[in-house]
Amino acid sequence: MAASIREKQTAALKRMLNFNAPPLKNTASEPVWKVLIYDRFGQDIISPLLSVKELRDMGITLHLLLHSDRDPIPDVPAIYFVMPTEENTDRICQDLRNQLYESYYLNFISAISRSKLEDIASAALAANAVNQVTKVFDQYLNFITLEDDMFVLCNQNKEHISYHAINKPDIMDTDMEAIMDTIVDSLFCFFVTLGAVPIIRCPRGNAAEMVAVKLDKKLRENLRDARNSLFTGDTMGTGQFSFQRPLFVLADRNLDLATPLHHTWTYQALIHDVLDFHLNRVSVEESQGSEASPAGARPKKKNKKSYDLTGADRFWQKHKGSPFPEVAEAVQEELDTYRAQEDEVKRLKSIMGLEGEDDGAISMLSDNTAKLTSAVSSLPELLEKKRLIDLHTNVATAVLDHIKSRKLDVYFEYEEKLMSKSTLDKSLLDIISDPDAGTAEDKMRLFLIYYITSQQPPSEADLEQYKKALVNAACDLSSLNYIKQWKAFTKMAATPANYGSSGVKPMGLFSRVMNTGSQFVMEGVKNLVLKQHNLPVTRILDNLMEMKSNPETDDYRYFDPKMLRGSESSIPRNKNPFQEAIVFVVGGGNYIEYQNLVDYTKARPGKRVLYGCSELFNAAQFMKQLSLLGQK
């Protein structure tokens, strides 16, 4: 299997941290000690990929933000990893003047303009530091990889390219151009890192098309400039696409507004929906012990704990796409096996009469120590296992609290029925007016999904009734105003998205997890099991990847940046199904779609699909954007 985008971006970062030379595998010598200076953008790119320990192994002793107060360290080389912005280049010039470091390796996250380079050069001259600026590199790494098969464009300033920014009614053409250029710059970096020139497909008449046209032009210009092309020579031949090019599908968020509002049932998407989950790090409030505080004392402050959910965490890799009930069972099983192993170690110690002894005494005994040695050597592994089990116990418990207090299983099941147009077992009005079911936001999300997916919008009288119930539940209706306009507009443009016949089979309430001694009290939570179904984005990908004819995608535009010229109709098209594809949603994406694509790919061996989006939002963040649009 060829390298994933996560591996490629990590390799590029490691090369940069080794002064842009390939890292040597087998040296026993110490690495060169150096300082890493980054801005917030650089920090967001590095943090999901490299831990502090890995940075230290590569010789990074200090890592500092560019715009913090830094003391001079005269005999150490410094590696800079920053965006080529005006304030950053000014600060670099200031560092040169203050002679902070021994030598400077300047790496720009995306390409730096000629004029800014000249500014740095003149500052280096003035500071008499020309010899110390050792190298200047454009890294083309302006995107953030979160999974082996998922990336987002940016985290800082993401409001500049958000759904709200693209769909503002009063947006100026110049602003729109700037947003598109930002998105295209990042996508260009993505393809440089991937080492492949894609075939681009996109729908007509929306932001996705503007991105496609600009990206095509940018790739084309780079390929034509043979001397400086980033897609030639050694990087290309070794790429995973040496003989077949990937398909790049640009989709627009407006094609499906229901999915980002949908309540979900899989582990990773639930964490993102109900907890604070950000660049692969989740923050959970620790529940304090329930002992009563003395009268009049201040309530205890809740501690926040952060956990990293990484690719190295096997449990996470296996279960992030599983339905929540399965995750709860799996955590419980892990816990039981761990306890058994722990008891075994204790038993061995007590047999040898070493109950209270330290490990030094253990090593002195020689005969029946073989067993013990193996038990002791497995301790680090056990401790790591314990850490992961604790992590998932805490995270899953936090998620479960939300599910129970907000009846998220009811919402999930009801929305699935709405989206698949199956028969409903109770009226929408009942759920909205039930004070125990969910927050005001949950109710609003449910109603918007109903409104978006309904064939006929509800009659005025019904709508008034719904509105009244929503207002009574303290909902903010401004997002509905926007969805109304959006629906009227899309009705003219196209038919509403079809969500496939998803089915949720309730499996009765939990039985196995209910046994005593389980960490998770699942009473009353429905044990729902998912049936595989394709969301609109996955369905579009399927049509384009398998070359199926479908009215939904037949008029998608086709770009091939490698063809020198020629109008769209005359380009010879690729007729074979694609093995590799990248789906990118302009206007923001979510873990529900990502998971749906992962499941789609799993069912098709040999195919690979990457998911990218301009920003990653959960339903609450998306609702905020819709409300802002509705207040205009």
The dihedrals phi and psi of 514, each to the nearest 5 degrees, come to -80, -10
SS3 of 561-589? CCCCCCCHHHCCCCCCCCCEEEEEEECCE
Sequence-distant (≥ 6) Cβ neighbours of residue 206 within 8 angstroms: 252, 254, 586
Pairing of strands 304-308, 281-285: antiparallel
Helices 267-274, 591-602: axis angle to 10 degrees equals 180
Render pLDDT for 29-77 as a digit per residue (tens, 0 to 9): 677 889 999 999 999 999 999 989 899 988 898 999 999 999 999 889 9
- Structure-model confidence comparison of residues 427 and 294, the more confident one: 427
Q: Percent of the chain having pLDDT more than 70?
A: 82
Bridge partner list, 277: 282
Please tell me the total number of residues recorded for the chain in this structure.
Answer: 632
CB 489 within 8 A of CB 470: no
Bridge partner list, 152: 144, 613
Q: Percent of the chain having pLDDT more than 90?
A: 36
| pLDDT interval class at 242 (50, 70, 90) | very low
Q: Which two tokens stand for residue 619?
A: 């339903």
- Compute the half-sphere exposure of residue 325: CA atoms within 13 Å on the CB side of its CA: 20
**Four-CA torsion 395, 439, 428, 396, nearest 10 degrees:** 10
Q: Which two tokens stand for residue 442?
A: 């949950």
The number of beta carbons lying within 10 Å of the beta carbon of residue 434 is 15
- Compute the half-sphere exposure of residue 214: CA atoms within 13 Å on the CB side of its CA: 19
Residue bearing tokens 């109710």: 443
Coil/strand/helix, residue 415: helix
Coil/strand/helix, residue 558: strand
Render pLDDT for 379-423 as a digit per residue (tens, 0 to 9): 788 888 888 999 999 999 999 989 888 888 889 888 888 887 777
Dist. CA 273–CA 260, nearest whole Å:
10
Let me know the angle formed at the C-alpha of 82 by 249 and 185, rounded to the nearest 5 degrees. 25
Sequence-distant (≥ 6) Cβ neighbours of residue 128 within 8 angstroms: none
Sequence-distant (≥ 6) Cβ neighbours of residue 100 within 8 angstroms: 70, 71, 72, 73, 74, 78
Bridge partner list, 456: none
Using a 10 angstrom Cβ sphere, with 0-12 exposed, 13-18 middle and 19 or more buried, the burial of residue 190 is buried
Q: Which two tokens stand for residue 164?
A: 């709200």
Dist. CA 278–CA 617, nearest whole Å:
10
- Single-letter amino acid, residue 78: A
Render pLDDT for 595-618 as a digit per residue (tens, 0 to 9): 999 999 998 888 999 999 999 999
Dist. CA 282–CA 401, nearest whole Å:
16
pLDDT given for residue 513 in this prediction: 40
Q: Which two tokens stand for residue 440?
A: 């005001």
Q: Which two tokens stand for residue 513?
A: 């997890």
Bridge partner list, 248: 200, 582
Pairing of strands 608-613, 150-152: parallel
The dihedrals phi and psi of 325, each to the nearest 5 degrees, come to -55, -40
CB 451 within 8 A of CB 457: yes
**Four-CA torsion 528, 533, 538, 543, nearest 10 degrees:** 180
Dist. CA 28–CA 18, nearest whole Å:
15
Residue bearing tokens 């179904």: 533
Mean pLDDT is lowest, of 16-25, 152-161, 536-545, for 16-25
The pLDDT of residue 152 is above 80: yes
Render pLDDT for 506-550 as a digit per residue (tens, 0 to 9): 444 444 443 434 555 666 667 766 666 788 899 999 999 988 888
- Structure-model confidence comparison of residues 459 and 29, the more confident one: 459
pLDDT given for residue 510 in this prediction: 44
CB 571 within 8 A of CB 581: no
Mean pLDDT is lowest, of 107-121, 135-149, 488-502, 539-553, for 488-502
From the list 343, 335, 441, 312, the residue with the least C-alpha distance to 396 is 335
Bridge partner list, 589: 616
The pLDDT of residue 235 is above 60: no
Coil/strand/helix, residue 284: strand
The pLDDT of residue 102 is above 80: yes
Dist. CA 400–CA 526, nearest whole Å:
12
Dist. CA 196–CA 565, nearest whole Å:
19
Render pLDDT for 2-13 as a digit per residue (tens, 0 to 9): 578 899 999 999
The whole-model pTM stands at 0.86
The pLDDT of residue 292 is above 50: no
Dist. CA 17–CA 296, nearest whole Å:
55
Cα R_g (the chain), whole angstroms? 28
| pLDDT interval class at 562 (50, 70, 90) | confident
- What DSSP string describes 28-59? -SPPPPEEEEE-HHHHHHHTTT--HHHHHHTT
Dist. CA 175–CA 147, nearest whole Å:
31
pLDDT given for residue 191 in this prediction: 92
